[in-house]
Amino acid sequence: MTTSPTARMITDAAEASGKTLREIATDMGLERGNVISMLKSGEMRMPIERIPAFAAATGIDPLALTRVAMSEYMPETWAVLAASASPVQEIQVNIRAPGAVVERFKAICQTERRNYGDMLGLLLDVWEGDVEKMV
């Protein structure tokens, strides 16, 4: 297992997407799925210009992946950029729930090819009756 934070994030996104590596590669406009395997293992670095395509293919937040990749690959450059940007607050939620409920939520995310944060946002839109945001 790699110690690369970017590779770990890529691995998590690929697995959560419910797609095969070949499907992700195809969605990114790549000819071979082994490129995704190399990204997951840390053998190959994620080209920064490919982040939007990977994010669209897997449902991951492109800014979160950019932040992790840039801070790992180009820490000095990222420090300059981050210092001038307005901060984005991310919060991790730990949920205690029956296993069946958590597994249902994970299955829905996988079926819909959305990450947990995006799906939570959709559920909140439904709860608030904002059907327009669901589309």
**pLDDT, tens digit, 9 for 90 and up, residues 35-92:** 999 999 999 999 999 999 999 999 888 988 998 999 999 999 988 888 887 776 777 7
Rounded Cα gap, residues 36 and 25, in angstroms: 7
State residue 116's pLDDT score: 81
- Specify the higher pLDDT residue, 81 or 6: 6
| Environment class of 8 (CB within 10 Å of its CB; exposed 0-12, middle 13-18, buried 19+) | middle
Does residue 113 surpass a pLDDT of 90?
A: no
State residue 121's pLDDT score: 83
State residue 88's pLDDT score: 66
Contacts 24+ apart (CB under 8 A), 113-120: 113/17, 113/18, 113/19, 113/58, 113/59, 114/59, 115/13, 115/16, 115/58, 115/59, 115/60, 115/61, 116/16, 117/61, 118/59
Q: Which residues contact 132 (CB under 8 A, 6 or more apart)?
A: none
Q: Are 61 and 55 in contact (CB under 8 A)?
A: yes
Q: Which residues contact 66 (CB under 8 A, 6 or more apart)?
A: 48, 51
State residue 22's pLDDT score: 95
Q: Are 16 and 107 in contact (CB under 8 A)?
A: no
User: Could you report the per-residue pLDDT of 9-20, keeping only the tens digit for each?
Assistant: 999 999 989 899
Please give the average per-residue pLDDT across 102-107, as a whole number: 88
State residue 85's pLDDT score: 75
Q: Are 6 and 73 in contact (CB under 8 A)?
A: yes
